[in-house]
Amino acid sequence: MKLVRWGVAALAMFVVGCGPVEESTPAGPDEVMGTQEAGLALACTNGLGCRESCVCQGGYCVPDGFSPAPPPGHCDTPPVRACSTGSDCASGCNCVGNVCVNDGFSPPANCLLAPPDSFESDNTHTSASSYMGTPQLKHTSHRAGDVDWALVATPINQVMTVEAYNLRNGAQLRVEIYAYDYATRTLGALLGSTQSLICSQITPSCFVYRATANVVAGGVYAVKVTDRRTVPSGSDWRPTAGYDLKMY
């Protein structure tokens, strides 16, 4: 009993000497999980910093709430460019495990970016491709604001129609037809243009941009197709916007 009384007295002296002792409440499971998630979450400035099925919210990548729920940790890993073959990757990158990765040589390439299409460099009318009478397939807008030019010779007087069709991955375009002096490489008057789809229904048959112009026999004309998408700053890893082009 003496030992017990001594222990109580000592405890009383300790409390008096040090002041009241405040109890600390252990963090609940929700708080612990919140701290862990904040530490693991991938920081971002816009949607290009996050993978598919994720959005940038409050500076971190989180599930977008619309797509099927991604697996745990999906939004915590950086985005990559998907590929099937090496042709889907930019120069300096290889397709490994369906992902574009650096080929190991310096300087390292940005493998998030799309490669140019086979018509590049057709960014000006002086470096335009030539339309040979058959559709030009697999044009891409590999960079935001990409411009593609094509020259076409017309054998007869007619109303020429230019179509950008088979739109892929959210392509938004403006199509313009210009008179052209091939001998001097001089751009003439704008003869026809459009940046509207041919109809508003959500059906593949409406996903066509069509412009027309009166042309003459023996003439040469320049067709300009401009990417109108609004893309945030950053490396665009998303599937590349594209279209096919035909004239008749």
- 53-95 per-position pLDDT tens digit: 999 999 999 999 998 999 999 999 999 999 999 999 999 999 9
pLDDT reading at 17 higher than 70: no
State how far the Cα of 171 lies from the Cα of 195, in Å rounded to an integer. 11
**For residue 200, what pLDDT is reported?**
92
Write the burial class of residue 165 (CB in 10 Å: 0-12 exposed, 13-18 middle, 19+ buried).
Answer: middle
**For residue 33, what pLDDT is reported?**
33
166-193 average pLDDT score: 97
pLDDT reading at 12 higher than 70: no
Pair 74, 87 in one domain:
no
126-146 average pLDDT score: 97
Within 8 A by CB and 6+ apart from 165, the residues are: 207, 208, 209, 243, 244, 245, 246
Pair 177, 101 in one domain:
no
Pair 205, 156 in one domain:
yes
**For residue 154, what pLDDT is reported?**
98
Confirm whether 52 is domain-assigned: yes
Nearest to residue 80, comparing CAs of 53, 106, 100, 102? 100
Picking from 30-39, 99-108, 159-168, 212-221, which range would have the lowest pLDDT averaged per residue? 30-39
**For residue 106, what pLDDT is reported?**
80
**For residue 36, what pLDDT is reported?**
35
The percentage of residues in the chain with a pLDDT greater than 90, rounded to a whole number, is 81
pLDDT reading at 4 higher than 60: no
113-121 average pLDDT score: 96
Pair 207, 131 in one domain:
yes
CATH assignment at residue 225:
2.60.120.380
176-183 average pLDDT score: 98
180 strand-pairing partners? 187, 220
- Cβ atoms of 93 and 103 within 8 Å: the answer is yes
Considering its fold, how many domains does the chain have in total?
A: 3
- Expressed as residue numbers, the domain containing 161 is 125-247
Pair 194, 134 in one domain:
yes
- 18-52 per-position pLDDT tens digit: 344 344 344 333 332 333 344 589 999 999 999 99
Pair 93, 135 in one domain:
no
Confirm whether 130 is domain-assigned: yes
Pair 181, 96 in one domain:
no
**For residue 32, what pLDDT is reported?**
29
Mean pLDDT of the chain: 87
